[in-house]
Structure 1
Amino acid sequence: MIIDAHQHFWQLARGDYDWLTPELAPLYRDFMPDDLIPLLSRNGVDGTILVQAAPTVAETEFLLKIAENTPFVLGVVGWTDFAAPSASNEIQRLAKHPKLVGLRPMIQDIADDAWMLRPELTPAFEAMIECDLAFDALVFPRHLPHLRALLSYHPKLRAVIDHGAKPNIADAQFKAWANDMEAIAKDSHAFCKLSGLLTEAGTDWTEAHVAPYVAHLFENFGPKRLVWGSDWPVLTLASTYDIWHTIASSFIPNDQARDLIFGSNAQDLYRHFTI
């Protein structure tokens, strides 16, 4: 069983993708299940986790409707306003949908790097724990000390770091990111997604550019806490689904680790879906 634990769909006409502008020409069109099916088939991928791309509950409802009608979508990571007074009730409402497996505030787009530590967010994180939902941390390296603190305050929060925290591979910025990722891996039970790295490696990337970052993730999170994802269609800014699937497979040392990273770890992380 191979699971792509991070992919997106969107329809431009919905109008709530503020980050998605005509300047991102390869992405500035609709991406829906029929676009992904041939890629999954060609790479032997059995199911996916569909992740939010807009900071609205309306988009989460849109994705849940897609999941209801798309057998290969095993679960949805949605969005809600963690700072709203009604956040706890809204999380409990959304969690009643059998396809909701997690939530993701778009932390990378929030001006306050320490936003996740604001006291008014505590009820939202407590509701996530109560509802057994995964927290997808969409962060940059500068957020990692705050994420480490957050996970220490909520040790029962099941969390995953999206895209390896988006290290600046293009400029070979490694040391600070590596130290912070090592600390989080040591001090928490967080998972980390093996995804999005080619996009951070620049237009002239090679496997050699990415390899040290992947090796560091393996060294610290190990094969039981890494989860593979494509980040398609954002991936297409840097490469193709086929190429990333092949490269990621080549980084994994043996079949046992591959089975974990490409399959069962996603089930351990997101839990709510069944195959």
Structure 2
Amino acid sequence: MKIDAHQHFWLYNEKEFAWINDDMSELKRDFSPEDLKVLLKSIHFDGSIVVQARQSLDETRWLLELAQKYDFIKGVVGWVDLCSPDVTKQLKQFANNPFLKGVRHVIHDEADDQFMLSEEFQRGISVLNDFNLTYDLLLFPKHIPYALQLIEKFPEQLFVLDHIGKPDIKNKEISFWKENLTKLAEYRNVYVKVSGMVTEADWKNWRKEDFKAYLDIVFNAFGPERVMIGSDWPVCTVSESYESVMGIVLDYVKQFASGYESQILGENCSRFYSIK
């Protein structure tokens, strides 16, 4: 089964999606499962993981409702307030829903770069395993050293790094990101999504060659057994079409044996998110 490990849906409104600025005006509309269904079919993919785009419990409920309606949605990465003393109570309301696979917090928008090291946040992370939930790390390279400290404390918790840690591909910055990504990969409970790369590149002028050095580093660090393909649709469309964005990784993985290729294109995602 081939799975797009990272995409979003939303019903656009200016207040809740203030991060969509005028440079991203094409994102100022609704994006629905019907839209993605056609795109998945165009590249012969079987399903996707939908990831939260708003930090609210209503977002989690809405995405779970969509998963009940569309069989290609294989799982939901939702949001709960991990810093809340009521985090266990929040999780219990979703505990019986088989589509909730993990949670995410938009850490890279927090004012404090060390947000994930707070006592409250770590208390929230500590209860995820009780619900068999994974955690998606949404970071900039500057946050990875703090992520290393977090992961060190939770060896039994499954983590996945979104968008390869968002290195500055446009300006070809590699060394700091590479150093810390390589350290992150030493933890066997950490996976990585090769997704969201085009939005860190020169949106309208990138070439596939721009990503090769970054992909080489990711695959050398994690191996094909802990890498999963994702689109970051519809955000990726500020740069290129869905097919072109997915094509970057689809072309790259052709160098691997068929067994590894199938892992990257779906099997690793299925294992990580417990998709049957």
The interval holding the TM-score normalised by the smaller chain is over 0.9
User: Which has the larger displacement, 121-130 or 212-221?
Assistant: 121-130
Per the TM alignment, residue 102 of structure 1 is displaced from its structure 2 partner at its CA by 0.4
Give the Cα separation in 1 of the matches to 2:13 and 2:237. 21
Q: Distance in 1 between matches of 2:163 and 2:92?
A: 27
2:82 matched residue in structure 1: 82
Q: Which residue of 2 aligns with 1:269?
A: 272
Partner of 2:106: 106
- Give 1:136-147 correspondences, 5 Å limit: 136-147=136-147
Deviation at 1:22, TM superposition (A): 4.8
Which among 257, 262, 265 is matched to residue 259 of structure 1? 262
Q: Does 1:180 align with 2:180?
A: yes
Residue identity matched to 1:234: V
Across the two proteins, how many residue pairs are aligned to each other? 273
> Deviation of residue 82 (structure 1)?
1.0
Query: SS at 1:224's partner residue?
Result: helix
CA contact (8 A) 1:11 1:30 kept: yes
1:16 CA displacement: 2.6
Provide the rounded CA distance (Å) in 1 between the counterparts of 2:78 and 2:95: 10
How far 1:208 sits from its partner (Å)? Answer: 1.6
Aligned counterpart, 2:7: 7
Matches within 5 A, 1:230-241: 230-241=231-242
Give the whole-Å Cα distance in 2 for the aligned partners of 1:188 and 1:142: 21
Is 1:167 the counterpart of 2:164? The answer is no
Letter in 2 for 1:269: F
One-letter identity of the residue aligned with 2:10: W
Q: In 2, are the aligned partners of 1:91 and 1:127 still within 8 Å (CA)? A: no
Amino acid in structure 1 at the alignment position of 2:262: D
Across the aligned residues of Structure 1 and Structure 2, the Cα RMSD in angstroms comes to 1.4
Is contact 1:103–1:135 with CA below 8 Å preserved after alignment? yes
- The DSSP-based 3-state class of the residue aligned with 2:67 is helix
Per-residue deviation, 1:188: 4.3
Q: CA 1:18 to 1:81, structure 2 compared with 1: closer, same or farther past 3 Å?
A: farther
- Kept in 2, the 8 Å contact 1:148–1:184? The answer is yes
Q: Secondary structure at the match of 2:225?
A: coil
What SS does the aligned partner of 1:5 have? strand
- In the aligned structure 1, how far is the partner of 2:14 from the partner of 2:272? 30
* TM-aligned CA deviation for residue 130 of structure 1: 1.2
Write the letter of the residue equivalent to 1:32.
S
Q: Distance in 1 between matches of 2:189 and 2:59?
A: 29
Cross-structure match for 2:17: 17
* Displacement of 1:21: 4.3
Q: CA deviation at 1:251?
A: 1.0
In the TM superposition, residue 96 of structure 1 has moved relative to its aligned partner by 2.3
Contact map agreement 1:193 1:227 (CA 8 A) in 2: yes
In the alignment, the residues of structure 2 paired with residue 61 and residue 92 of structure 1 have an alpha-carbon distance, to the nearest angstrom, of 13
Cα deviations by residue, 1:30-77 (Å, 9 ceiling, x for unpaired): 000111111111100101100000111111111111111111001100
Q: 2:245 is paired with a residue of what secondary structure?
A: helix
SS in 2 for 1:193: strand
Contact 2:52 2:78 (C-alpha < 8 Å) held by counterparts: yes
Deviates more, 1:89-98 or 1:155-164: 89-98
The 8 Å contact of residues 163 and 196 in structure 1, kept in 2 or not, is answered as: yes
Q: 1:85 to 1:19 in 2, by over 3 A?
A: same
Residue 197 (structure 2) aligns with: 197
* Residues in 2 aligned to 1:18 and 1:156: alpha-carbon distance in whole angstroms: 36
Q: Give the drift of 1:18.
A: 3.3
Following the alignment from structure 2 to structure 1, what is the Cα–Cα distance between the partners of residues 5 and 14? Answer: 24
Q: Please tell me whether the aligned partners of residues 83 and 120 of structure 2 are also in contact (alpha carbons under 8 angstroms).
A: yes
**Conserved? CA contact 1:101–1:134, under 8 Å:** yes
Matching residue of 1:212: 213
Over the matched positions of the two proteins, sequence identity in percent amounts to 34
SS at match of 1:187: coil
> How far is 1:94 from its partner?
2.2
- Displacement of 1:123: 2.5
Question: SS at the partner of 1:235?
Answer: helix
Counterpart of 1:179, as a letter, is E
- Please give the secondary structure, in 1, of the residue aligned with 2:82: coil
Q: TM-score, normalised by structure 2?
A: 0.95
Paired residues of 1:92 and 1:127 also in contact (CA < 8 A): no
